């Protein structure tokens, strides 16, 4: 079970990084993040992670915590670098 939890952690971490980028591009969302809320990702493309996260959200809410649900339809393919027209020279 520990390996599976680590896998869920890594998958959530990837979504968290991408969501951070999204928030930077959409500052209007920032006000939804105010207060003490736990961000819970509900990835439609990953039912196993979505179910795990829903269970975690239920536990948080049962303990009186607040949750902000972020539904994600898909992730686009990874881009290794956004640099264009790079020239590298050693001297």
Helices (H) and strands (E) in the chain, counts: 2, 2
Closest by CA to 18, choosing from 73, 88, 84, 62, is: 73
Domain-wise residue ranges, the chain: 2-72
Indicate the pTM of the whole model. Answer: 0.80
**Cα torsion 22, 24, 28, 33: sign:** positive
Predicted confidence at residue 83, as pLDDT, reads 78
Average the pLDDT over each of 17-26, 39-48, 57-66 and give the range with the smallest value: 17-26
- Asked if pLDDT for residue 33 goes beyond 60, the answer is yes
Which residues, in sequence order, are CB contacts of 46 under 8 Å at separation 6+?
Answer: 11
Which residues, in sequence order, are CB contacts of 77 under 8 Å at separation 6+?
Answer: none
């Amino acid at each position: 079970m520990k390996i599976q939890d680590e896998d869920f952690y890594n998958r959530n971490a990837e979504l968290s990084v991408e969501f951070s980028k999204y928030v930077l591009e959409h500052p209007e969302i920032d006000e939804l993040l105010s207060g003490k809320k736990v961000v819970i990702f509900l990835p439609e493309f990953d039912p196993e992670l979505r179910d795990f996260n829903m269970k975690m959200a239920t536990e948080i809410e049962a303990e009186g915590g607040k949750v902000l649900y972020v539904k994600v339809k898909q992730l686009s393919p990874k881009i290794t670098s956004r640099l264009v027209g790079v020239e590298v020279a050693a001297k």
